[in-house]
Amino acid sequence: MLKERDYDFSRLVEPDRVRKEVYTDAEIFEREMERIHETVWIYVGHDSQVPKAGDYTTVQIGRQPMIMVRGSDGKVNVLYNRCPHRGNMICGDTKGNTGDFFRCSYHAWTFHHDGKLKGIPMKEAYAGTRYGKDNPDCSIKKAARVQNYRGFVFTSLAKDGPTLKEFLGKSIVAFDDMCDRAPEGEVEVVPNCFRIIQHSNWKLFLENQLDALHPSVVHQSTGRAAHEVEKILAKKAKGGATPLSYHMLSAFATVTIDKWDDFQTINYPYGHCILTGYMGLRPQDPDTLAYDRIMIKAYGKKRFEEIVGVNIHHVLVYPGLSVQSPLQQLRAVRPLGVDRTLTEIWHFRLKGAPEAIYRRSLAYYNLVNSPATLINADDLENFWKCHQGLASDGGDWVSLGRHHGRDIERNGAIESGPKMGTSEAPMRNQMKAWSSYMKD
């Protein structure tokens, strides 16, 4: 059916609707991998995942198996996980330490941490041939471009294109907001990755992230349940505070569907978006006040107010990253196939912040982002149902028309209109970026 349309990508996306094949067609998926995930800046990992020389972690970028490795010179390299000899993968594990060099498990070719050929067993066998250290094809191929912003390592597998900073634009606030909240201005990864696979197209995950209409529908059950227990705990505490973790969950019910229009989405070039904050994460309890004092000492009163005044709940860095900077959570989206998507979920410690502040981030990580999540369980169910429905012949289009025509363009960004936080502006913006990548 799509073949007959002859891949007319200008016709797959209209300003307020999208053809269903965009989500379900395997050939479109291959083109997405080539044009988007293997071209634009994609998050690889945080450099604190590989603190020592030889530390590595493996990751899939688009369809490419890659290695992020710390060199003896302290530099973080991103390499294709492929031996230039016969094509064997170099690292078979998801993480580890390779020692002073890589050694292929098949024929023992060795490589430096930057991928350069180090040695070949009985190398005289190659005398007079084109193979040897002088031939760059005998080294492990490096990612075309690698950039590190405040510890967050990105790669682009294309030689040309915007710089990381140009690409991120205003969405760079995700990393600034996270790091600035640390008294030492840096974050450190907590070395645990929760990995969850959903059986649906990768774009459904991203579109859900800033969909302000869904939380009170989808997460009602957990919101209500947490609110019930929160009320009992409040009674027991006799006016004292209940743990913030209950508030994180109960907000899904106490913030009713109509209130979500009070929030706002701000949508940027390349498909990035921000959802303004709603969780009221500036309580006045002793832990927060102790943290505030440390922050004021580190930054001064004026800068401190600027830092904690950043009003963000979620930042979406299209096409592969969802960041909740005030809670130091990050979800990297790795498409595995047209109907299969992996999310890798990490959280971070604010360097120099008290343990109690870390515990908030941890509570959110465990309750919302673990494989026993009380929240995402119902999102994942919807993603699957959505993909099943889209694969049917029950209709050709996906509607993105909520508040269409009422978005406000300002300073190069598209904002949802006043009292229109549930606008489908973020999805329209993502599809706009998508179609500009996919068109010739």
Residues that bind another protein (CB under 8 A): 190, 192, 194-199, 218, 220-222, 224-226, 228-229, 232-233, 246, 249, 342, 347, 355, 358-359, 362, 365-367, 370-374, 376-378, 380-382
Are the C-beta atoms of 187 and 328 separated by less than 8 Å? yes
Q: Closest distance between another protein and the C-beta of residue 328, in Å?
A: 13
Residue among 194 and 304 whose Cβ is closer to another protein: 194
Q: What is the C-alpha to C-alpha distance for residues 422 and 431, in angstroms, rounded to an integer?
A: 17
Q: Closest distance between another protein and the C-beta of residue 221, in Å?
A: 3
Cβ neighbour number for residue 440 with a 10 Å cutoff: 6
In total, the chain counts a number of residues equal to: 440
With the C-alpha atoms ordered 4, 5, 7, 13, is the resulting torsion angle positive or negative? negative
Cα angle for residues 204, 206, 209 (degrees, 5° grid):
110
Return phi, psi of residue 32, to 5°: -60, -45
Q: Closest distance between another protein and the C-beta of residue 252, in Å?
A: 11
Burial class of 435 by CB neighbour count within 10 A (0 to 12, 13 to 18, 19+): middle
Burial 336-366 (b: 16+ CB within 10 A, else e): eebbbbbbbbbbbbbebbeeebbebbbbbbe
Residue among 57 and 267 whose Cβ is closer to another protein: 57
Q: Closest distance between another protein and the C-beta of residue 279, in Å?
A: 17
Residue among 347 and 402 whose Cβ is closer to another protein: 347
| Ramachandran region, residue 270 (left: φ > 0; alpha: ψ -120 to 50; beta: rest) | left
Residue among 248 and 438 whose Cβ is closer to another protein: 248
Return phi, psi of residue 425, to 5°: -55, -40
Residue among 158 and 391 whose Cβ is closer to another protein: 391
Residue among 49 and 429 whose Cβ is closer to another protein: 49
Q: Closest distance between another protein and the C-beta of residue 358, in Å?
A: 8
Q: Closest distance between another protein and the C-beta of residue 374, in Å?
A: 6
Comparing C-alpha atoms, which of 374, 310, 14 is closest to residue 170?
310
Residue among 364 and 437 whose Cβ is closer to another protein: 364
Q: Closest distance between another protein and the C-beta of residue 210, in Å?
A: 20
Return phi, psi of residue 307, to 5°: -65, -50
Q: Closest distance between another protein and the C-beta of residue 254, in Å?
A: 14
Residue among 226 and 295 whose Cβ is closer to another protein: 226
| Ramachandran region, residue 76 (left: φ > 0; alpha: ψ -120 to 50; beta: rest) | beta
